[in-house]
């Protein structure tokens, strides 16, 4: 038995709130090699020192100005290395800033890592994202984003995908003690507990979230106490003890493969450098550095192996020399690469995963009259039959059939594994959708109301939308958005939220107005490997019907529909606005107008719109959303820019008032633009 002793009296000089978490784990390191061969001990040693030597080189390059930023994991290597060594190579790991050891254990060539750090083409993000903000299917690693918490929901999705496939795999996801204050942490571990997902949630408790000590982050004594509240196991280990981490993760993973369930693993450790190098360490008491310095995971383990006769000094020198040689070779290869050369066409193309432009045609010509809602249900049902890897998730969607009964009967046909009631945690569920996609599954996420998407906004705009651009991973997720007013539902169930996402490259937005498009566009969204926001107006669910092909078919995303043709002017709209326009045109039959239903808002069909405006010379853009910041502003600006010489009048925008959506009938219809559209149509027609 090898120990590294530290007297408790050394710790007592610290302020009490910061002192308590470190009492036990600052006293000694006890190595238990029972059941571990010399070969395994040596493999762990080689894996443990490699990230340390790389970091020491990176810090030199940082001081030389050859590296822009660095988040140090010095002192925490045993957690990353022990975890990665214990898991199977085909099991996903979701690391964070200080987990270099995960990448090195998985065998990523160092030149590729160095190119990633330097923003070179040989990295994993083509220079588009920094350090460990990357992923790789080849090595089963999914990197973080700066918001820290969302990767835990992604881990849930990967684990769910394994359950669906019958794969006895474990997923490990890292987080820091600071990030456990985020909602994503609580949502994700709750979902994992409720669904018995085999995820190891690893908390690296180093006592600080950047500069804020744990005493200002949470009031519970330790993180494993939080596991109790979610009905899951909590295990605490000495994060500086490589054998304790390795053995614990090994045992947990073996058990979880047999009996899927989540476990919260708290690893007690300390960050020996700043949050990142520029932040420094002045906010940390010097006594902590002295205490934890004596618990260095590498020096202690090396001394243990030397004392056990497993290695000798010559072996240590040989291993270190070999790693340094590998580093220099990797740097040489990386530095010889040319810098990334900007290319607009490539940048725009890489925002989206390639998707087929060919539509799926119905096998027969048989049609049945269907309501708008029934067409949506039909598309989902047939897609579930077509894609065994498709999962539908949402609040109350299983036995209850959803708030609007769009999935009624689904759980009886497809089972609760694929039709999943979710807790009220939109962010974790959107993240789960991304995790499913990473594990080669498809998902539909139902927002009970489009308004509730705010609770999952970060996952959509920063994770789903950017993942393919960052590291080439598609995000095969459809988010159903019951939207719109004219139903007396007030300010929290009636908002038009499509413009919030219109500004986000990487997303696609569809918004059908007719039952046949509702089915075809939803099917196309499900087939598309990109994240699609699918807006469905609640007022149309049971109010309109139309003939719809009984067979499965798709409608091209990005293509508008000319609903009516005319010569006097062009009307551009979508959703409920299409039906308002048809009603008012029927009332004023002397007006001859092109009526364009956009159907897809991102990307919108610029050619169809501009061709019509060039021919008619007048355009009226109408949407149900508020005026300021609405989609109509972008479309009319593009028309003014590209059709100026063809215009006989200035483009006209009609929209809702710039207020929240009121509930009462009189106030709501005053808010909505229908009556103002009629006035504008008559005025523009007469101009």
Q: What are the residue numbers of the active site? A: 493
List of E strands, 551-638: 561-564, 569-573, 593-597, 600-602, 619-626
Which residue in 234, 156, 239 sits closest to 198, CA to CA?
156
Q: If you count them, how many residues does the chain have?
A: 687
d(CA 100, CA 49): 11
Alpha-carbon gap, residue 272 to 85, rounded angstroms: 23
3-state DSSP call for residue 436? helix
Q: Omega into 323 within 30° of 0, i.e. cis?
A: no
Distance (Å, rounded) from C-alpha 562 to C-alpha 139?
A: 48
* Angle, CA 593 vertex, CA 589 and CA 595 arms, to 5°: 115
Pick from 418, 341, 413, 360: nearest CA to 163: 418
Partners of 208 in the β-ladder: 213
What kind and span of H or E run contains 381?
A: helix 372-386
Contacts for 345 with CB less than 8 Å, ≥ 6 apart: none
* Distance between CA atoms of residues 395 and 421, nearest Å: 5
What are 574's two structure tokens?
A: 């979508």
The secondary structure element, H or E, covering residue 465 is helix 465-471
Q: Which two tokens mark 464? A: 């789903």
Give the span between the Cα atoms of 665 and 677, in whole angstroms: 18
Residue 494 has a CB neighbour count (10 Å cut-off) of 26
Task: Tell which phi-psi region holds residue 166, choosing left (phi > 0), alpha (psi between -120 and 50) or beta.
Answer: left
Alpha-carbon dihedral sign for residues 169, 174, 175, 176 = positive
Max intra-chain CA distance, the chain: 98
Contacts with 229 (C-beta within 8 Å, 6 or more apart), sequence order: none
User: In this structure, are residues 443 and 390 in contact, taking their beta carbons and an 8 Å threshold?
Assistant: yes
Q: Do 96 and 149 contact (CB within 8 A), yes or no?
A: no
User: Strand pairing of 208-209 and 212-213?
Assistant: antiparallel
């Amino acid at each position: 038995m090898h120990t590294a002793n530290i007297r408790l009296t050394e710790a007592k000089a610290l302020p009490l709130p910061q002192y308590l978490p470190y009492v036990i784990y600052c006293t000694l390191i006890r190595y238990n090699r029972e059941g571990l061969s010399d070969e395994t001990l040596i493999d762990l040693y080689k894996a443990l020192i490699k990230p340390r030597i790389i970091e020491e080189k990176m810090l030199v390059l940082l001081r030389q100005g050859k590296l822009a930023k660095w988040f140090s994991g010095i002192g925490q290597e045993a957690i990353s290395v022990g975890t990665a060594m214990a898991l199977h190579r085909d099991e996903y790991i979701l690391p964070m800033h200080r987990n270099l050891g995960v990448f090195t254990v998985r065998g990523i060539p160092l030149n590729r890592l160095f190119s990633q750090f330097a923003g070179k083409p040989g990295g994993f993000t083509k220079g588009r994202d920094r350090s460990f903000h990357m992923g790789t299917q080849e090595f089963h690693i999914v990197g973080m984003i700066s918001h820290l918490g969302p990767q835990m929901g992604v881990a849930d999705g990967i684990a769910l995908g394994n359950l669906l496939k019958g794969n006895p795999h474990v997923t490990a996801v890292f987080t820091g003690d600071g990030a456990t204050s985020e909602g994503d942490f609580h949502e994700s571990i709750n979902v994992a507990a409720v669904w018995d997902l085999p995820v190891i949630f690893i908390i690296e408790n180093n006592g600080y979230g950047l500069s804020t000590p744990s005493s200002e982050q949470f009031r519970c004594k330790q993180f494993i106490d939080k596991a109790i509240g979610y009905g899951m196991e909590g295990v605490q280990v000495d994060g500086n003890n490589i054998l304790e981490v390795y053995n614990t993760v090994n045992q947990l993973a073996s058990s979880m493969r047999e009996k899927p369930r989540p476990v919260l693993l708290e690893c007690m450790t300390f960050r020996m450098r700043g949050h990142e190098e520029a932040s420094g360490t002045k906010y940390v008491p010097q006594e902590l550095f002295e205490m934890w310095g004596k618990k260095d995971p590498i020096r202690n383990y090396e001394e243990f192996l030397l004392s056990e006769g497993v290695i000798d000094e010559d072996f240590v020198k040989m291993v270190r020399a070999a790693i340094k040689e590998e580093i220099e070779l990797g740097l040489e290869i990386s530095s010889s690469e040319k810098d990334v050369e900007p290319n607009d066409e490539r940048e725009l193309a890489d925002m989206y995963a390639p998707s087929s432009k060919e539509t799926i045609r119905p096998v027969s010509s048989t049609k049945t009259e269907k309501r708008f809602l029934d067409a949506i249900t039909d598309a989902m049902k047939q897609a579930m039959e077509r894609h065994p890897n498709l999962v539908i998730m949402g609040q109350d969607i299983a036995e209850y059939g959803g708030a609007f009964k769009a999935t009624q009967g689904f759980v009886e046909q497809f089972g609760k594994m694929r039709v999943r009631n979710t807790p009220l945690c939109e962010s974790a569920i959107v993240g789960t959708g991304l995790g499913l996609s990473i594990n080669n599954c498809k998902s539909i996420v139902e927002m009970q109301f489009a308004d509730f998407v705010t609770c999952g906004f970060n996952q959509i705009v920063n994770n789903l939308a950017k993942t393919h651009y960052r590291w080439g991973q598609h995000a095969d997720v459809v988010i159903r958005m019951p939207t719109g007013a004219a139903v007396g539902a007030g300010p929290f169930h009636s908002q038009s939220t499509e413009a919030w996402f219109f500004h986000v490259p990487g997303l696609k937005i569809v918004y059908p107005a007719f039952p046949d498009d509702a089915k075809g566009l939803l099917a196309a969204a499900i087939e598309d490997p990109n994240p699609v926001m699918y807006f469905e107006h609640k007022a149309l669910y049971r109010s309109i019907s139309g003939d719809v092909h009984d067979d499965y078919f798709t409608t091209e995303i990005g293509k508008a529909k000319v609903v009516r043709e005319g010569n006097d002017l062009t009307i551009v709209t979508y959703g409920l606005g299409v039906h308002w326009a048809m009603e008012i045109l029927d009332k004023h039959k002397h007006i001859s107008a092109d009526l364009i239903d956009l159907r897809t808002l991102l990307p919108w069909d610029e050619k169809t719109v501009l061709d019509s405006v060039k021919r008619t010379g007048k355009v009226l853009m109408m949407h149900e959303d508020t005026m300021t910041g609405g989609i109509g502003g972008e479309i009319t600006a593009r028309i003014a820019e590209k059709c100026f010489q063809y215009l006989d009048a200035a483009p006209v925008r009609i929209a809702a008032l710039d207020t929240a959506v009121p509930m009462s009938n009189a106030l709501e219809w005053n808010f909505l633009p229908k009556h103002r559209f009629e006035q504008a149509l008559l005025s523009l027609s007469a101009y």
